[in-house]
Amino acid sequence: MQRVLDDGIEASDRARSIARMEVLAVGMWRKPDPAAIEPLTECAAFFHAQGDRLTEAKARSGIGLLHLLKDPPDFDAADESLQRALDLAESLNDPVGGVIVGLMIGRAYLMRGDVPNASETLDASISVSRNIGDRLLIASALNARGWAAILAEDLRTADQYFREELLIASTIGHEPGIGYALEGLFAVSSGHSDIERAGQLLGAADSIRQRKGNSAAATLSFHGKLIQQIEQSAHAAQFENGRNAGRSLDIAAAVELALS
């Protein structure tokens, strides 16, 4: 896609706009940059003028995500873009696109601390994902719903969501998903004051995140405050020992530990 933009390859305005959007999307997940909002908005306007609702929805969802990744997040702008993307997905009868946008909306609620609306939105995403049978979407929805349970201090329910996510991710071989589930189970273990286990699970997740380098997902995660709390507690040394041990675990051993 980048070659279409850089090498002067002859292409239609539509093809160049798609290439531009795809390049921006890849960069957004690797290293989020709010400066991408303006060119993505231009792409969205182009696709709107073309009557291409599907590609416009993709651009609008990317714009919404970038607003969430700002520091501080621009929730109003994110809401506007994500609602437009959701409306487009629904007008196309596109359940997959609707779930993807719904997950972003659910996470936006979580970032605000609005657990009831987040839970309602994410429960709907889980239901639609199960009906579709898309295991990757199911796992993503379970992860977000697990964090809603963590914020509601419902550790038992959170554990169930994260364990199911881990089983799905390990079955389909989705390594980033395994890492996200391990981070969730770290939060469950820390909530139960099982500090050594929490450290091991987080260390294993650290290794996966380091290999995959998903900066956007790191920004949207919710475990950072828990890490800071433990590191500033009397259990910091025990936690760090466990974390270092977890970093040396291979995937199979990390999954076995998490499910034990």
Is the residue at 164 inside a domain?
A: yes
17-21, 54-58, 202-206, 244-248: the lowest-pLDDT one: 17-21
Residue 7 lies in a domain: no
b/e burial code for range 106-121 (CB count within 10 A of at least 16 → b): bbbbbbeebbeebbeb
Q: Which domain holds residue 167?
A: 135-260
In a domain, 188, yes or no: yes
Residue 2 placed within a domain: no
The total number of structural domains in the chain stands at: 1
CA distance 200 to 198: 6
Q: Would you state the pLDDT for residue 221?
A: 73
Which pLDDT belongs to residue 30?
A: 65
Domain assignment present for residue 180? The answer is yes
Could you tell me the pTM of the whole model?
A: 0.89
Is 190 a domain residue? yes
- How far apart, in whole angstroms, are the C-alpha atoms of residue 188 and residue 159? 6
Whether pLDDT at 4 is above 90: no
Give me the pLDDT at residue 12, please. 75
Task: Give the pair of three-digit tokens for residue 90.
Answer: 């629904």
Residue 184's Cβ-count burial label (10 Å; 0-12, 13-18, 19+) is buried
Distance of CA 19 to the CA centre of its chain: 23
Q: Which of 140-149, 190-199, 210-219 has the lowest mean pLDDT?
A: 210-219
- Mean of pLDDT over the chain: 90
Q: What is the structure's pLDDT at 2?
A: 43
Residue 88 lies in a domain: no
Q: Is residue 35 part of a domain?
A: no
